[in-house]
Amino acid sequence: MGRLVVVSNRVAVPRELRAGGLAGAMQAALSQRGGLWFGWSGRIAAAPADAPRMETVGPITFALTDLTRADYEAYYLGYANRALWPLFHYQPNLVEFSRSNLEGYLRVNRRFAAQLAGLLRDDDTVWIHDYHLIPLAGELRALGIGARIGFFLHIPLPAVDLMAMLPGHRRLIESLADYDLVGLQTPADRHALCDYFERECGATPEDGGMRLRNGRSLRIEAFPISIDTALIARLAASGSTHAATRGLVASLQGRALAIGVDRLDYSKGLPERFDAFGRFLERHVERRRQISMMQIAPLTREDVPEYRELRERLERMAGATNGQYAEPDWVPIRYINRSFQQATLAGYYRVAQIGLVTPLRDGMNLVAKEFVAAQSADDPGVLVLSRFAGAANELSGALIVNPHDVDDTADAIEQALAMPLEERRARWRSMFDHLSRHDIAAWRDAFLAALEQSRR
């Protein structure tokens, strides 16, 4: 078996290889076969480098390339995060399209291909990740690369009519046909992509994918991403006795905790969640002082104006709710903009009675799965989950809500608080068993097995 080559927009070279998360799963696969991980270093350079910088950690070689300021603005901020991200998350009103950003996106993909091509061997298996790099296989093929290439989209794939709003959509989506396998998060995303190929490109459905007008087959499958379930469960069990968790529990003074953990992103439905918690307090006077909500929301993409505006809005909302309801010894919303170690988060999930995961759209949402994995079997908390998260497809033991309906989410918070222990256990058990079988290793192995079987 040849090497595995992973390509993602951003690559962080670890000091040592670790288990856990997507990076851990990739590192494990790269370690087994020996391999290469290519992508942006996160650095801005004055001029594009001719060749990537190589660093080796154990059996894995990392190939890192820098972006120029103009590339960063057009490719990363402009096209990937102000056109594709909002559109694919069903927010066309936030799309800022410009031809020069599109050109930057294509230029960076071409440059990545030129740099990567020099490192590839014919028997390599290449796995490309996410919306930043959709045209990369096409650029590699244009350079004569015949290796097997698979693509996985981590975010939702919107319905045809929405996709059609994007100038140049056809060229973008048709470039997926240069892959041997296209993986999506859910059957609904798979359906949307097949529907696009059928309606916009005249392709016909066939077993496992689509037959394109040029007679070639494209394999399209759903591979719902997951977590390292056993690791999170272990971290949560030991994390619950750590000082950070004990400090949190002590500060609650016996009150319940509802926890939210999300990057500060408009797709995550945070204003709607704050509103729902405020509505819950308004309608359930008897519950005031009995529960606090803790929202952990590290800042991301601060160079994008919509993210700065959202930050200001959430600060105002948290301040207003706390101003209205807080007591000298009780604050309804604890709002924190920083990151925590995985073990600390796992401990926090475990001591929470409610997990609030209410995105307006989300490819999967790993926090929902982490919350479930972190609960204790004896006294598990309840997950309140948006129907628009990919995870809702699998986690049917959650209380499924429509995040646009503030009263619906407020009702679910009350239902979760009042839920009898037996029901909590039964709901949790079905979800935990599912996540034990369908963990991140199973996801990775399923994708790679399908890729090994696919041939254009």
Active site residues: 154, 362
By CB under 6 A, name the one of 2, 164, 340, 393 that touches ligand ADQ: 340
Rama region for 10: left / alpha / beta (φ>0; ψ in -120 to 50; rest): beta
C-beta of 83 vs 113, nearer to ligand ADQ: 83
C-beta of 300 vs 324, nearer to ligand ADQ: 300
Stretch that binds ligand ADQ, among 164-172, 362-370, 418-426, 435-443 (CB under 6 A): 362-370
**CB neighbours (10 Å) of residue 50?**
9
Stretch that binds ligand ADQ, among 132-140, 363-371, 408-416, 417-425 (CB under 6 A): 363-371
3-class secondary-structure state, position 327: strand
* Least Cβ distance, residue 366 to ligand ADQ (angstroms): 3
Q: For residue 405, give both structure tokens.
A: 């309906």
C-beta of 170 vs 263, nearer to ligand ADQ: 263
What whole-number distance in Å separates Cα of residue 287 and Cα of residue 280?
8
* Least Cβ distance, residue 103 to ligand ADQ (angstroms): 26
**DSSP of 11-41:** ----SS---SHHHHHHHHHHHHH-EEEEEEE
Stretch that binds ligand ADQ, among 201-209, 361-369, 433-441, 442-450 (CB under 6 A): 361-369
3-class secondary-structure state, position 310: helix
Stretch that binds ligand ADQ, among 29-37, 108-116, 270-278, 339-347 (CB under 6 A): 339-347
Residues 221-250 as x/- pattern, contact with ligand ADQ by CB under 6 A = ----x-------------------------
Q: Is 363 in the site for ligand ADQ (CB under 6 A)?
A: yes
> According to CB under 6 A, which residues from 246 to 305 bind ligand ADQ?
261, 263, 296, 298
Q: Do 410 and 276 meet the contact criterion of CB atoms below 8 Å apart?
A: yes
DSSP state, residue 47: S
Nearest Cα residue to 135 out of 143, 403, 208, 292? 143
By CB under 6 A, name the one of 71, 174, 272, 362 that touches ligand ADQ: 362
357-370: buried (b, 16+ CB within 10 Å) or exposed (e) per residue?
bbbbbbbbbbbbbb
Q: For residue 372, give both structure tokens.
A: 């479930």
Q: Is 370 in the site for ligand ADQ (CB under 6 A)?
A: yes
What are residue 39's DSSP bridge partners? Answer: 8, 64
Q: For residue 172, give both structure tokens.
A: 């973008």
Binding site for ligand ADQ (CB under 6 A): 154-155, 225, 261, 263, 296, 298, 339-340, 345, 362-367, 370
